[in-house]
Amino acid sequence: MSSSSVRKRLQEATPGPWEKEEDSPAITGPVGAARDDRMIIYDEGGHSEEDADLIAHAPTDLALALDVIEIAAELHETQRHVGDPCPLCIALAAFETAP
Ligand SMILES: [Zn+2]
């Protein structure tokens, strides 16, 4: 995985914002779009309102997290390490090699 591949998936997905419908496990987006132009995810199993809230916020949260990762990686490129990699190097390597 790389930040560019994650960004590509975000750009190709239904645009946000998405929202969890009030008192319902349904998630729709983009907010304000005509019904025929919205993505609607409905959990018939009724697993949890928290799952719906997580999914509805995922695109926005992921985009913000990608911004932080890319800025951290860019700022960290100028660091020179002697010896073991630092925790940020390890975290960035784990992100880049994740499936
Ligand atoms: Zn480092």
Q: Which helix (H) or strand (E) holds 20?
A: strand 19-20
Tell me: the pLDDT tens digits for 52-73?
A: 888 888 988 999 999 999 999 9
The percent of residues in the chain predicted with pLDDT above 70, rounded, is: 98
Q: What's the domain range around 33?
A: 3-97
Q: Give me ligand 1 centre to Cα 99, in Å.
A: 22
Mean pLDDT score across all residues of the chain: 86
Q: How far is the CA of 54 from the centre of ligand 1 (A)?
A: 31
List CB-based neighbours of ion ligand 1 within 5 Å: 86, 88-89
Q: How far is the CA of 71 from the centre of ligand 1 (A)?
A: 14
Mean pLDDT of 33-40: 90
- Contact by Cβ (8 Å): 13, 59: yes
Total of domains in the chain? 1
Residue 31 token pair: 């907010």
Question: Which of the two residues, 11 and 80, has the higher pLDDT score?
Answer: 11
Distance between Cα 65 and ligand 1 center (Å): 19
Q: How confident is the model at residue 46 (pLDDT cuts 50, 70, 90)?
A: low
Per-position DSSP letters for 34-99, written without gaps between them: -GGG-EEE--TT---HHHHHHHHHHHHHHHHHHHHHHHHHHHHTT---SSSPPHHHHHHHHHHH--
